[in-house]
Structure 1
């Protein structure tokens, strides 16, 4: 379960992650409850962690980076990781072209407003397939970055979701 609880501040959180080794952490990424990619079936391995003033930077091996401003409340449960609060989280994803070269960076920003809501801004649009029951594809709908997620202020600011823990039923 959780090894560290209640750690605040970018430098302290970065040091705690470094102590266990960044490569200990991997899974699907979620910001304020919105799972990157829309579902828990992708895997991102953390390779580096840095802190600059009150800004935490997490770098993943597949060109994904997460920038977290004013992080607070770290919970470590290898390979999962949770940062319970932040003022802003920016998810940057490097898209790869057909030749394997980086083409563009897609950015999604989650900002906590003064009215305690999460505002989402994205510089890209996505094609989301719509399905009939039983999985047959019905049609595609283009949604704008503003509609990409329905963030929840009560959800953790950032989370690396451990696949094994997520897909294993709890023993009651």
Structure 2
């Protein structure tokens, strides 16, 4: 059992269709030129956003405003999570890094006996499913999670 693209779509409401993007470090002017060419925003607007973001980068909220449907953000989120899970699966690893909302909500969705969480009573189906649960401030350690995973039986998986 593994996290799938369908889980990303259902839990985070991220688009699955669209172009994947390549990442490379660029200087300020190179980044502005690339954004103008790829997104179609004028150079002044792009330059102002990059200055607000303090470097050759832009904020995700700005990108959403410009072109939320153009890129397959869900695929990127899943690829990044798989990379982090690969590192976390090593016996010497003590903790995970990165954005774990997808992983956490996937666990809550498919493993009802695992993890500490509370259902949010104000949740409605028009929001990402990941907003259905509220996580406690104190989380489980990786050792505790591994122990819970090792103890799982077939009936403990939805």
TM-score under structure 2 normalisation? 0.25
Max radius of gyration: which structure?
Answer: 2
Higher strand residue share: 1
Higher helix residue share: 2
